Amino acid sequence: MVFLNSNVAILRLCEKSLKVREIISAEHIGIFAADPNSIAKAEGIGSRLSLPVINVRDAKPLILEVSNTHVSLVYTAPKSPGATLVDFVGGKMGYRSKNSGFKDQDIIKACGIKKGMRPTILDATAGLGRDGFILASTGCKVTLVERNPIIALLLEDGIKRASEVTQTADIAANITFHNCNSVKFINAIISMDMPEVIYLDPMYPHRTKSSLVKKEMRALRDVVGDDFDSDDLLTAALQKASKRVVVKRPKGAEYLADKKPSMSFDGKSTRFDVYFVG
C-alpha cells in the first residue's frame, strides 16, 4: 500500500465490500468468456462477484466480457454502444501519458500539485480511474477507492495492464487501489495516515445532454446509479484530509452539500471546488 498502510480496520472494510446483487440485479448481468482459454478466468470473476457465467453472449442485456487480455462491460442489444473498459495504455490516455499531455490541467492545480509539491492523494470516488491516473502521472502517490464491485473490477484490470507496459508502469506504481465503501473508508483513517488531499467526483446529477450519453457515462450510471451519500462523503473528507478537499462538479452546478468552497477552478464544462482544511 502507498499510505494508510497501518490501518487494519480499512483492510477489513474492503473485505466486506458490497456484493453486486445489492447494486444491480443478477437477472440483468452475467459473465461471458470471449474464448475457451478465458473460461477459468471468467469463472473466477463470477465467483468473486456472485454473478452467473453464461454461455450465450446475448443471454443478458449487460455482460462482463472476459478475455485473456482484458475485461470489458458490454451492452448486448443491437445498436448498443461499444464496450467499456479501463485503458490507460492505448487511446487518448495512453497518448497523453506518453507525451506529457496532463500538464497544466485544472485538476492538478486544484490539488495543489506544483514544482516541489507532490501531496498524497485519496481519490474516494475513483470510477474508471481517469482522474486518479492523471494525478498519479505527476508523481503523486494516489489511493483509489471505488465501492461498486463491477466498476472496481474494470479499474483493477486497467491498472494491472498499465503496470505491465513500460510507458505507464511508473504511473501505475504510484497507485494503490481498494474496492470499499468510500465513506466508511475515509472515516476509518487514523490521524497518522491522513492523506494531504481527498478528491471527490460524485456522480453528476442526471442530465439529458449529449455529454452524458457517452458509453462510459451510460455504463457508470446504469451500474452505479446516483451518489445519494455525496454530502456525507464531503463531511467525512473535510475531517480526514490534512490540507484540502477537492470536489469535481459540472460547471454551474450547486455546491456539494451547499457548502461554499475556499476557491474554485472553472473549466469549459467542469468546476473544481477547493476546501482548505487544517
Report pLDDT digits (tens) over 42-72: 999 999 999 999 999 999 999 999 999 999 9
Distance CA 248, CA 19 (A): 27
- Does 80 fall in a domain? no
Distance of CA 83 to the CA centre of its chain: 17
Same domain, 61 and 125: no
Same domain, 92 and 164: yes
Extended beta strands in 69-222, E state: 71-75, 121-123, 142-145, 175-178, 197-200
Same domain, 206 and 265: yes
Same domain, 39 and 94: no
Same domain, 233 and 127: yes
Helix axis angle for 149-163 and 39-49, nearest 10°, is: 140
Least confident segment among 69-83, 89-103, 111-125, 143-157: 89-103
Whichever domain contains 101, its CATH number is 3.40.50.150
Distance CA 158, CA 144 (A): 13
**pLDDT of the residue at 21:** 41
- With a cut of 70, say whether residue 121 has pLDDT above it: yes
Residue 214 sits in which domain range? Answer: 8-15+86-276
Could you tell me the pTM of the whole model?
0.87
Same domain, 105 and 217: yes
Distance CA 263, CA 245 (A): 11
- With a cut of 60, say whether residue 209 has pLDDT above it: no
**pLDDT of the residue at 241:** 97
Side by side, the strands of the sheet bearing 71-75 are 53-54, 29-33, 62-66, 71-75
Question: What pLDDT band is residue 6 in, cutting at 50, 70 and 90?
Answer: very low
Q: Of residues 224 and 170, which shows the higher confidence score?
A: 170
Q: Of residues 192 and 24, which shows the higher confidence score?
A: 192
Same domain, 241 and 103: yes
**pLDDT of the residue at 222:** 74
Same domain, 105 and 236: yes
**pLDDT of the residue at 79:** 83
Sequence-distant (6+) residues with CB within 8 A of 143 are 1, 2, 3, 4, 120, 121, 122, 123, 175, 176, 177, 178, 195
Contact assessment for residue 122 and residue 193, using Cβ atoms and an 8 Å cutoff: no
Same domain, 33 and 156: no
- Does 210 fall in a domain? yes
- Residue 85, all three cell numbers: 473498459
Question: What pLDDT band is residue 110 in, cutting at 50, 70 and 90?
Answer: very high
